[in-house]
Structure formats: C-alpha cells, structure tokens
Amino acid sequence: MTSPSASAPARAATKRTVLMCRPEHFTVSYRINPWMHPEDPTDTSLAVRQWETLHAKYVELGFEIHLIDPIPGLPDMVYAANGGYVLDGIAYGAKFEYPERQPEGPAYMDWFRANGFDVREPVATNEGEGDMLLVGDTIYAGTGFRTDPASHDELRAIYQREVVTLKLIDPSFYHLDTAFAVLDSKGGPDSVAFLPKAFDARSLDILDERFPDAIHVNDEDAKVLGLNSFSDGRNVVIASRATDFERQLTERGYIAHGVDLSELLLGGGGVKCCTLELRS
C-alpha cells in the first residue's frame, strides 16, 4: 500500500458493492485471447489463494461483497466483470463471443434475478462490464474484439444515458477494462487512466478531449494488466507489478494497493476482471 503525496489533492472513498466468483475451477484449457497458452500448466490452488488476497483487500476497504457459485466446466467464470452490467438496479446480461464462455451469460442472469435485479436479456453480443465503464453519467463502451457496437444501442435504450463508443485495436487489450481504468467515478478531467496505443485515432481524440489530465500508463504496466484495476475514488487496487502506475496514482492523491494475480493473468484477467460492480 502506498500513501498519497502530501501535495496531492484529497480523494474521497465511496463504498462499493461488488460481485465475485471464487476460481475453484480455474485453468487454461483453450485459447480465446493472446494471454492464454493451454499448453502451459496452471495452478488452480494458487489462483484461489491469489483471489482470496484480492477478496481480503476488498473486505479491508469496506466493500460489500456478493459471491456467485462457480460452475464446473466454466474456468473463466472467475472473471465476473464479463457476467453483465449493473446500473440503476437493472442488470443487462452478457452474451459472449466465444462458445467456451457462452454458458456464463445465463448463469449470471440467474444470479441477478435471484438477487432482485431487473434483468434485461441481451440481443447483441456483449461481454458486460469488461467493455462498459461508467464515468460520471456517461457509459464508455468498448468494441473491436468482443462486444458488438449494436449492444451500445441496447445500453442507451435500457439506461437512458449517454453511451460513448471506444474502439480497441490491440488484440492484447481486447476488453475496455484492460486498457482503461476509472479512478474517480464522479468524473472530471483527471478521473481515468488509459493506454493510448490500445485505441484507434477517433477514440483517442475523444479520450484526450474529455480527460485531458488522464494518467497514461507505460507498456510495462499495461503488459501486467495494471489498468485492469478497481477504485473506490481514493483506494485503487492494482497489479502489484505495475510500479510506475502506482507512482502516478500516489502523485495524484490516490492510495495504491498492489495485489499479485499473476496466475489469473494466464487467463487474460486481473483485478477488474474479477470484480463486477453492483449499482442499485
């Protein structure tokens, strides 16, 4: 944990409510992103221990944590952020691109229904909060590899919010939450961090116009999914190896909390991938 710089602005934490899935069945048995190498061994018990460290950090920060039961045969279910998008008490379900993950969509929608959310079933392919991030009153929605831009129209219709499309162009950063981090959900010119090379020119223009004081991360931190982080507005939980990002956060007045999710990185996910925010 790194304390903020004395000269940095004061940051205020807001309580978060999240959904997580214990990686009891985690392995890499197929390849649907550049991070996955099924020929290399994975250690499920290590993945569970690392996930438990993340869970414990959230408990320490005062988050309200809900758990969905893992299902055998769905090793990527640990990446709860892809399970849907929850805002205003409405849960927009996920419809996965690859057959290996498609059963996750109904499983998460069943959980949402059982827990009192107004569930909207998707028509267009989308991978949930992995490609949909809220900043202020605007939903920033990724496309390019997984999520169909038609789902952005569904978001507009369901939530009656501005939805801004951002196109990803680097296959290593195939979900928006791997290349774009919300640091302060209230919004503002310095409320996000991102990796410029992950976006097309039009999207970069949008980001530079709306977030002129954003943090830009370097390639080394991006390669350990440093941007795949989760913030309560003051505390930012990040990959422990993203050391320059940690420095930048501290200079901006945030408290950075590094965790090691290196085993889950073998499946292409990090802190944010394991975290679905539930907004009532």
Residues acting as catalytic residues: 175, 273
Quote the tokens at residue 205: 């223009």
